[in-house]
Amino acid sequence: MYRRIVNRIVNTVAGLIFVASCDAAHSAPRHIHTTTDSAQADSVARAHRDSLNRVAPGYVIDSVLPVGEEMRRFRNAIGGVSATRLENASPSREELIQRFVRDLANRDSLDLKAAALSAREFIDLVYPSSPNTHPPYRQSPGFVWMQINGQGASGLTRVLQRRGGQSLSYIGHSCQPNPDTQGTNKLWLGCMIRLVSLSGDTTVDRLFGSIIERDGRFKFVSFANQF
């Protein structure tokens, strides 16, 4: 009798130990899974915040490369001959904008692109004297050009879609009175153009971005616009 009682106790204890070990085995993965999910959520949140910061105005991209090395790599990537002046430029701001109106009416995208800053002109004539070469606005030339080129390409597409092929008469334009001077470059900002349609309607619109003036020659920096 005594032996049967002892065996029953032993079996009961063994059963309890087995149940406890099973519970522990099931509970551990849930804890690990929860921790992993939390870490992944935090990682996604940090990545999301970082992506928002990167598109915020004034965000500075740190680079381990000196400015000179970044410029050398950019030049090697785009190739071409060194730019010494603005090519395919207009002799005045007025004539550049009148050229824009003619090209827009003719849907001449080739000449519109020729009237805008090229990558080689940017790296040789514009970037070296820009605030992007030093803190607090330090940005690599590749990043700055990506922004300019991206905004210009999408802006040109939109303005051709909205106003291309229309008969518009140029009346005049206005820009901010004081240009942003960077070395020998002058950047005319906030330019608005006044046009009259065949029906007699007058509009004042922002159909292009800033204009660069260098040594009496004028080109568009980009075609970022209101559309």
Q: What is the pLDDT along the chain (227 residues), one digit of tens a residue?
A: 444 433 443 344 344 333 344 343 344 443 333 333 433 444 444 444 444 444 444 444 445 789 999 999 999 999 999 999 999 999 999 999 999 999 999 999 999 999 999 999 999 999 999 999 999 999 999 999 999 999 899 999 999 999 999 988 999 999 999 999 999 999 999 999 999 988 889 999 999 999 999 999 999 999 999 99
The pLDDT assigned to 22 comes to 39
| Radius of gyration of the chain, Cα coordinates, nearest whole angstrom | 32
* Burial per residue of 143-161, b for 16 or more beta-carbon CB atoms within 10 angstroms, e otherwise: ebbeebbebbeebbebbbe
CA proximity to 116, closest of 80, 153, 164: 153
Q: Decide if 192 contacts 133 (C-beta within 8 A).
A: no
The pLDDT assigned to 63 comes to 56
Q: Decide if 212 contacts 218 (C-beta within 8 A).
A: yes
Question: What size, in residues, is the chain?
Answer: 227
Structure pTM?
A: 0.71
Q: How far is CA 38 from the centre of its chain?
A: 31
Give the C-alpha separation, 145 to 122, whole Å. Answer: 8
The pLDDT assigned to 199 comes to 86
Q: Give the pairing type, strands 217-220 and 211-214.
A: antiparallel
| Residue 117 φ/ψ, nearest 5 degrees | -60, 135
The pLDDT assigned to 219 comes to 98
Query: CA 83, 84, 87, 93 torsion: positive or negative?
Result: positive
Provide the CB-side half-sphere exposure for 134 (13 A, CA). 4
Give the C-alpha separation, 223 to 103, whole Å. Answer: 13
The pair of three-digit structure tokens given for residue 140, joined into one six-digit string = 């690599």
